[in-house]
């Protein structure tokens, strides 16, 4: 949520910035609502003041044993007038709230301006695209032996966009999770957390998935209004919802492994082959809550933590700064990490690291207490994949393949695989 004060004082520059991300902000409509709100609010408050004062007088008079009937007659009409004003005010306020909750975040000034992913800017490249002296197979072919990767069975059990993994492939998948959690907790200073995989609507509103993107989510049909998490960002960031964090506890850094569930509505026919785009996948997520002045440095640092995973796995990648038109709803700035996939001869997204500024914190009422002032201030939230497990698995299969179709195990993972050097 944007700062309502900013909308009142500098609405045109807000509208201009939103335009760069393809969001048309109806300024006259907002101003009209805002004017109504202001008028109705002062009117309601005046009536409340009058009622409060007169009620107090009745209390006083009664305690002194005076006849209160004349005073009661005076306030008789007040209730109706107040109810009417309040009802109007609530209606306008509700409309304003809906509007406020559907406006995306403002992009940071360093974000490249552009319409879609074609305008994203390459920031740096690490390693060189893996060169094989044979024709690269893609991960679906490489996973076929031994039914390591079995999509047909998953279709039977559930449907499309699910996978069954077996044997050393399943183990490699698990090893990746352990490796990443260990790296971030022991070397990067994150606290490991375990969280619910079902969340309520308030949590999804807090991080920005609701109200606008319900169609991307799986919703349970039971009595409770619960949703499957699309990312650990939702439960982990909402740890601080409605909290005031003491200054000496800042910053907070959490790392969390969860499954993620996405409906992938609107991506029919896209990445239908293999593991790239699934309804269910695992992710190790990094989340930080920091002071406002630290969040830009934290974004660079957090991105570096995700990059470290790829470096230790010796997987070539590049870092892209997403343009204004390609960023997520809540983000002020996003870096995507894209790993090289020999099977596709292309870089593909494997991590997305974002600074949300105070956008999520305002929706969540997440604050920290500044010892300098003693006052609570909105904190800044960040997160990034560190990394998406399924896609990391794909990258390993395709980059570590041999001419005979066998797969070497990256050095750093061998201790998690019982010393195994090749998948077997």
Residue 56 touches RNA, criterion: CB under 7 A: yes
Task: Select the residue interacting with RNA from 9, 31, 45, 267 (CB under 7 A).
Answer: 45
**115 or 375, CB closer to RNA?**
375
Q: Encode burial over 338-348: b for 16+ CB neighbours within 10 A, e otherwise.
A: bbbbbbbeebb
Residue with Cβ nearer RNA (42 or 406): 42
Interface pick for RNA out of 51, 95, 166, 277 (rule CB under 7 A): 51
Q: Does 125 bind RNA (CB under 7 A)?
A: no
Instruction: Say whether 391 is catalytic.
Output: yes
Report d(CA 142, CA 140) in Å as an integer. Answer: 5
**Cis preceding-peptide flag for 251 (omega within 30 of 0):** yes
Q: Could you say which residues in the range 77-96 bind RNA, by CB under 7 A?
A: 78-79
Q: Specify whether 262 is catalytic.
A: yes
User: x-or-dash pattern for RNA, window 239-278, by CB under 7 A?
Assistant: -----x----------------------------------
Are 37 and 92 spatial neighbours (Cβ–Cβ below 8 Å)? yes
CA distance 315 to 173: 16
Helices (H), 225-316: 233-237, 295-312
Q: Which is nearer to RNA, 188 or 205 (CB)?
A: 205
Name 318's bridge partners: 125, 338
Q: Does 127 bind RNA (CB under 7 A)?
A: no
Is residue 55 among the annotated active site residues? no
d(CA 27, CA 30): 5
Q: Identify which range of 104-112, 306-314, 325-333, 368-376 contacts RNA by CB under 7 A.
A: 368-376
Spatial neighbors of 75 by CB under 8 A, at least 6 apart, are 51, 54, 55, 58
Which residue has 């695992």 as its token pair? 282
> Is the distance from CB of 379 to CB of 358 less than 8 angstroms?
yes
4 scored as a contact of RNA (CB under 7 A) = yes
Question: Residue 37: how many CB atoms within 10 A of its CB?
Answer: 18
Q: Is residue 31 involved in binding RNA (CB under 7 A)?
A: no
One residue of 43, 54, 308, 312 binding RNA per CB under 7 A: 54
The CA angle 101-209-196, to the nearest 5 degrees, is: 130
Q: Which of 11, 15, 75, 125 binds RNA (CB under 7 A)?
A: 75
Catalytic residue among 174, 277, 318, 369: 277
Count of other CB atoms within 10 angstroms of residue 335: 24
Residues noted as catalytic:
262, 277, 349, 352, 391
> Which residues here bind RNA, judged by CB under 7 A?
4-5, 8, 38, 41-42, 44-45, 48-49, 51-56, 58-60, 62-63, 68, 72, 75-76, 78-79, 244, 367, 374-376
């Amino acid at each position: 949520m944007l700062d309502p004060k900013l909308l009142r004082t500098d609405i045109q520059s807000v509208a201009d910035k939103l335009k760069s991300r393809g969001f048309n902000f109806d300024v006259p409509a907002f101003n009209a609502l805002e004017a109504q709100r202001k008028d109705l609010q002062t009117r309601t408050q005046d009536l409340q003041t009058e009622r409060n004062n007169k009620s107090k007088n009745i209390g006083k008079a009664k305690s002194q044993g005076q006849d209160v009937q004349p005073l009661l007659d005076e306030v008789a009409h007040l209730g109706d007038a107040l109810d009417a004003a309040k009802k109007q005010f609530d209606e306008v306020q509700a409309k304003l709230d809906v509007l406020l909750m559907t406006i995306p975040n403002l992009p940071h000034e360093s974000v490249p301006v552009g319409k879609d992913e074609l305008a994203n800017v390459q920031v740096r490249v690490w390693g060189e695209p893996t060169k094989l002296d044979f024709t690269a197979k893609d991960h679906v072919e490489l996973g076929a032996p031994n039914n390591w990767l079995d999509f047909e069975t998953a279709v039977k059990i559930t449907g499309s966009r699910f996978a069954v993994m077996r044997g050393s492939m399943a183990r490699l998948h698990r090893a990746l999770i352990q490796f990443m959690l260990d790296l971030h907790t022991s070397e990067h200073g994150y606290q490991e957390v375990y969280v619910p995989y079902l969340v309520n609507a308030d949590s999804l509103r807090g991080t920005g998935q609701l109200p606008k993107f319900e169609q991307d989510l799986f919703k349970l049909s039971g009595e409770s209004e619960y949703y499957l998490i699309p990312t650990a960002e939702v439960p982990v960031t909402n740890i601080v919802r409605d909290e005031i964090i003491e200054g000496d506890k800042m910053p907070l850094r959490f790392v969390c492994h969860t499954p993620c569930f996405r409906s992938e509505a609107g991506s029919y026919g896209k990445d239908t082959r293999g593991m790239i785009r699934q309804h269910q996948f695992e992710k190790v997520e990094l989340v930080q809550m920091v002071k406002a002045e630290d969040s830009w440095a934290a974004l660079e640092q957090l991105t570096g933590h995700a990059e470290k995973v790829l470096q230790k796995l010796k997987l070539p990648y590049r870092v892209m700064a997403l343009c204004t038109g390609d960023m997520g709803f809540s983000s002020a700035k996003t870096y995507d990490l894209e790993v090289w996939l020999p099977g596709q001869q292309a870089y593909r997204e494997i991590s997305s690291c974002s600074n949300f500024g105070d956008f999520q914190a305002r929706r969540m009422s997440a604050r920290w207490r500044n010892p300098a002032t003693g006052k609570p201030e909105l904190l800044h939230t960040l997160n990034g994949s560190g990394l998406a497990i399924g896609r990391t698995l794909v990258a390993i299969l395709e980059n570590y393949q041999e001419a005979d179709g066998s797969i070497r195990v990256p050095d750093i993972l061998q201790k998690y695989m019982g010393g195994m050097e090749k998948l077997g």
